[in-house]
Structures are given as C-alpha cells and as structure tokens.
Structure 1
Amino acid sequence: MAIACSARAASRAVVLEIALHHHEKMDGTGYPHRLAGEEISLMARMSAICDVYDVYDAISSDRPYKRGWDPAESLKQMASWKGHFDPISSMPLSAARASTRSARWCGWHRRSWPW
C-alpha cells in the first residue's frame, strides 16, 4: 500500500512538473519561470515536443487574420526555431524538416489525417 501511494504521488509530481514547465524554452525565454537548458526537466522538455501539434496547427491553419503556411514551410520554420526545443527531444522535428519536400509532394497536411 505504501509503495502504491508513493508511486501515485510521484506520478502526480511529474504531471504537475509537465503542466507547469512545458512552455519553458531551452534558451531561457519561455515561461513561467524562464528556465533554461538542464533546469527544465526531461519530462517537461519531452512534453514541449508533444505540444508541437498545437504549434503546427496554429501556423498551418487559415485564420480570419492570416492564411496558413504551407505544410512543408511550417515544418521548415518550426525546425529553424533555435533555442525553442531541446535538441535531443526534437530530433523527429529535424527529420521532418529534412523531408519537407516529401511532405509537399505527398500533400501531407493535418486536414488529411484520419483523426
């Protein structure tokens, strides 16, 4: 019972850490605490990468005030944001940038995703 309670408490602590710090940036310009580099927990850095879908959606979707970027351009721009993402956690984003030509050729876009 004590082990189970301890595990639940640890899980809650991780969830709170992620919720609090997933908008921190590696260069220290994020919020709420302007943490930088290793000051940001690994879990928060990893969750920032998971938040990429929201960023991608925001810049690639048409808005009343602007046209959305081309999917390949969106990936290219996101991959160029130095200091925004952890370099290790964002390797998939870098790989996506390398294949932006393929993304454009295939017509890959969130609107074509089945979910």
Structure 2
Amino acid sequence: MPRNIERRLTSTTVEELIQAYNDGASTAQLTTRYGISKTAVLTLLTNREVPRRHQSMTTHDIDHAERLYLAGHSLANCSKLTGFPASTIRDALRTRGTPMRPAGGRHHGPR
C-alpha cells in the first residue's frame, strides 16, 4: 500500500472503507468519501483480500439501458438508473450497434 495512504488512513478507517465496499459502495463513492484515488481504494481492497465485484452487464441489463438511452436519457442518467458505470453502458451500446448521440450534446428527451 502506498505510504501516503498508510499515513492518511487509520486502520479503523480502512476497516470502515472495506465495510462500505462490502455493503455496496462503489469505488468512485469511496474515493470521494475518503479523499483517496481509485488506485488507492483498489490497493486497499487487494491487500486485504476483499473479493472485488465485477460489473458485467447481462443482455437484460443492456436491453434496459438501451431503452433508457433511446428514450433520451443521457449516459450519466442511464448510469444512475441502472447502477452501471456510464462507460460500461456506452461500450455495451456501441458493441450492440446502438446509434449514439454526440457526448455533451443537447437532446429532447427526459433527463
């Protein structure tokens, strides 16, 4: 574990971080909550042998995200509604061949 993380987080804080991850917090949420990088979070989890969650999308998940996206939701909003990272949704939709809107563009659908 990087030395600066060892100095910045107490063992109690590390245990809280691990518990939060096990309770479902994302690595992004933990980076914000504890003020550390994603690499530091992943290093802490790896060093403590915490099983990592994999966020692969099923066909059903992709269908749902695609319906949301085609209804006008942004990738960020699709992410909030499905729990999958926007980049994972984008990659799945591109692989499927779903027509994609330009990033950051305006659209006429729900937000």
Q: Structure 2 length as normaliser, TM-score?
A: 0.31
